[in-house]
Structure 1
Amino acid sequence: MEQKPPRKLLDQVSDAIRTKHYSYRTEQTYKDWIKRFILFHHKRHPKDMGAPEIQAFITHLAVEKNVSASTQNQALSAILFLYRHVLQMEMDVPADIIRAEKSKTLPTVLTHAEALAVISQMSGVTQLMAKILYGSGLRLMECLRLRVKDIDFGNRQIIVRDGKGEDDRVTILPDSLIPHLQGQIQTVQRIHQTDLGDGFGEVYLPYALARKYPNASRELIWQYLFPASGLSKDPQTGKIMRHHLDPSLLQKAIRTAAQKAGIQKPVSPHTFRHSFATHLLQAGYDIRTVQELLGHKDVKTTMIYTHVLQRGGFAVKSPLDD
């Protein structure tokens, strides 16, 4: 019996990442960092390298490439994942390979009027998504990955499945969005019926659900709430499916809308999430409640918004204003 050749290293990385249920984006990012790590060391196999080579690569990123702290940490996480979960080598990272600390900058927050001004400059599906970000506090990818079944009209809530950290959570569904979301689901239904009629209609299902429920991928409730305009090949299965909208569509729409509204602040999709949290705290809601709605594991993460609430100079009144 002919023996199969061993799987390539990056294919083994993919296997390990999928076993741990990481997202496809994380898979591609980790593989890219691992490839860059190997190329930096002139294509040496990682099993023949160790902590000194990891340190040299991270130092190169920090000093020569001048990458951000979060980028350094992402690269280090990818390399350590390779050693621990693919090569089965527990890497003793020395104390001098320390994870870079993120700069403690306060988030950009829009006033209520500014948020509405930006949204008013938008239209169609991107406007609806921006309203969800501001009205429900979702992250960009959480919004894009919403499925029809995640909108619970009866209980006035949105269920965020498998959010950051692979946890589900519940957040508020603004009453004003109900008719718009009902209309969006009708649009999804029309698109889905057309796809089914054309011999398609499948959607990506997470983890082993596709095997457990073989017909679920064709059901309306599993379709993305914000489907892409066209069909595409799923990179993991090779099947022709309809994915969700590309994140760049909303990112560009928000930037353009902020410019039209004359907002002199850097505005991104995440700005609406920051504004959601800050405005809830301004309205007197308990910080633990806001923590749960945002899906933060540690209340310390939510605490940053209390700093935004303070007026400049720790809420001290300037003597000039006396």
Structure 2
Amino acid sequence: MRSLPIITPHYQQLEKQYEQWLKTLGYSKSTITNYPSCIRELFHYLEHLSAGRHGGGITTLQAITADHITAFFLHRKTRKNHRYGGGVSSSHINNGRLALHKFVRFLKVTGQHTIEIDLGPVSVKNNPRVILTKAEIRMLYEATYHHHRQGHGAMGQRDRAILAIFYGCGLRSNEGVQLDVSDILTDKHLVYVHKGKANKERYVPIATTNMQDIKEYLQYGRKWFLNDHSKSHTDHHALFLSTKRIRIRQGGLFCRVRRMAQEAGIGKPVGLHTFRHSIATHLLQNGMDIEQIARFLGHSTLESTQIYTHIVNELQQ
């Protein structure tokens, strides 16, 4: 919702200050982008309130009430998803709640007037994790060979490299998107993650078969994406390129992964993080120690990894 205009100077200033505060605290790039965007949507909504139950347009923090906030989230819950069509997902609603709670925290620590909210506790995760079986992973790999597309196999080579990074290495979506070619240490069979959660760096091992897929993409497929298919600027450093010769974004990868699942005949709602959940579950099923899995995934505590023991137990029932 970056394109939504806000006309109140103080609102404009608050959005910029909030974004800078998140940067200073070292939040991820997606959080730094999405949280201020949620607040911009709130400000835009408040400015355009019609006279009635909630009064006219609201242009000061002091005038914002808990009723305004409740009405905004009701509006957000029922509005159309402008990008993908249909309704707005529960995770999108929940991210807005998280953004607002964090914004109130920002107002408090910076000594500004706070706003009253009454949204109850925020649930960070409210959807069950989607786990692919090992057979479904094989179906995805097979589909990259069987579906002939433009680029003389370049698309299939990129698809297999995507699987190698997000399933084989278990990277988070933002970690994989931000990878450069130089982060693939082919001689050591490692991928260097230097922009992980909370800006933590780590090295992740790459299995031989996964490394072969990545090398094939680097040697052949990626060169096709570097060709002049458009007048866009070329990103020579990015590992994953779009057909516009620029670093592919998370949204683009998400759509590509969904398409891969459709081509493989998988009916589950597959996303980039599905691969991370799946590899963690499969490693645990194969008997890998939970502490090793935690290091592999880049978890700072074992609590984040313990969830996969519950998933495995549920799958065995």
Deviation at 1:112, TM superposition (A): 1.2
2:238 is the counterpart of 1:224: yes
- Residue 209 of structure 2 corresponds to 176
Report the AA paired with residue 214 of structure 2.
L
Structure 2: how far apart are the matches of 1:135 and 1:188? 19
Question: 1:265-297 CA distances to partner (integer Å, 9 max, x unpaired)?
Answer: 332222221110011001111111111211223
Deviation at 1:164, TM superposition (A): 2.5
Aligned residues of 1:281 and 1:287 also touching (Cα < 8 A): yes
2:268 is the counterpart of 1:265: yes
2:303 is the counterpart of 1:282: no
Structure 2: how far apart are the matches of 1:6 and 1:91? 12
- Residue 163 of structure 1 corresponds to 196
- Residue 217 of structure 1 corresponds to none
Change (3 A) 1:58 1:25: farther
Deviation at 1:160, TM superposition (A): 1.6
Question: 1:112-150 CA distances to partner (integer Å, 9 max, x unpaired)?
Answer: 121111122121212221232111111223212111221
2:135 is the counterpart of 1:99: no
Deviates more, 1:67-76 or 1:165-174: 67-76
- Residue 36 of structure 2 corresponds to 31
Matches for 1:103-182 after TM superposition, within 5 Å: 105-122=127-144, 123-182=156-215
2:58 is the counterpart of 1:44: yes
Aligned residues of 1:108 and 1:267 also touching (Cα < 8 A): yes
Deviation at 1:156, TM superposition (A): 2.0
Report the AA paired with residue 179 of structure 1.
Q
Structure 1 vs Structure 2 CA RMSD: 3.9
Aligned residues of 1:106 and 1:308 also touching (Cα < 8 A): no
Q: Which residue of the other structure, out of 282, 297, 302, is the alignment partner of 1:299? A: 302
How many residues align? The count is 276
Aligned residues of 1:83 and 1:89 also touching (Cα < 8 A): no
Secondary structure, aligned partner of 1:165: helix
What TM-score do the two structures reach when normalised by structure 2?
0.70
- Residue 79 of structure 1 corresponds to 100
Aligned residues of 1:157 and 1:171 also touching (Cα < 8 A): yes
Structure 2: how far apart are the matches of 1:150 and 1:253? 22
Report the AA paired with residue 77 of structure 2.
K
- Residue 209 of structure 1 corresponds to none
What TM-score do the two structures reach when normalised by structure 1?
0.69
Q: Percent identity?
A: 26
Change (3 A) 1:70 1:299: farther
Change (3 A) 1:49 1:293: farther
Report the AA paired with residue 309 of structure 1.
V
Deviation at 1:14, TM superposition (A): 4.0
Question: 1:154-185 CA distances to partner (integer Å, 9 max, x unpaired)?
Answer: 33221222222322222221111323323444
Aligned residues of 1:72 and 1:99 also touching (Cα < 8 A): no
Aligned residues of 1:118 and 1:261 also touching (Cα < 8 A): yes
Deviates more, 1:261-270 or 1:125-134: 261-270
Secondary structure, aligned partner of 1:158: strand
Secondary structure, aligned partner of 1:265: coil
List runs of 5+ in structure 2 lacking aligned partners: 1-8, 48-56, 79-87, 145-155
Structure 1: how far apart are the matches of 2:98 and 2:268? 32
Secondary structure, aligned partner of 1:159: strand
Deviation at 1:91, TM superposition (A): 7.0
Structure 2: how far apart are the matches of 1:292 and 1:137? 11
Question: 1:13-60 CA distances to partner (integer Å, 9 max, x unpaired)?
Answer: 44444444545543332232212222333353454256x44x741564
Deviation at 1:101, TM superposition (A): 2.3
- Residue 82 of structure 2 corresponds to none
Structure 2: how far apart are the matches of 1:254 and 1:140? 12
Secondary structure, aligned partner of 1:171: strand
Report the AA paired with residue 69 of structure 2.
F
Change (3 A) 1:175 1:49: farther
